[in-house]
Amino acid sequence: MEILVRAYPRSITRDRLADILYSNEAGGGPDNPGVTISVIMIRLRKKLPRLGWTIPKARSGPGTEGYHLEALP
């Protein structure tokens, strides 16, 4: 969550998130960090709306990849 807050309003890619989250781990993190990050995002998406925020689902195409925080209307 802190990574998304610091990046706000910019997006951050899944690969960059994995680098930040697991760069200091001795084993380099989980075998498939993308799956782990997806699970984290699913859980955050369930909790954030009551705080007035969301993490929109990623769209495909150049410049649209990654995760970002978005205020709810």
Model pLDDT, residue 61? 58
pTM score of the predicted model: 0.79
Q: What is the pLDDT along the chain (73 residues), one digit of tens a residue?
A: 899 999 999 989 888 999 999 888 878 788 888 889 989 999 999 999 999 999 997 665 555 578 999 999 9
Residue 31's pLDDT is 85
Contacts for 69 with CB less than 8 Å, ≥ 6 apart: 4, 5, 8, 9, 48, 53, 54, 55
Task: Give the start-to-end residue ranges of the domains of the chain.
Answer: 2-71
d(CA 9, CA 25): 28
Note the pLDDT of residue 4.
Answer: 93
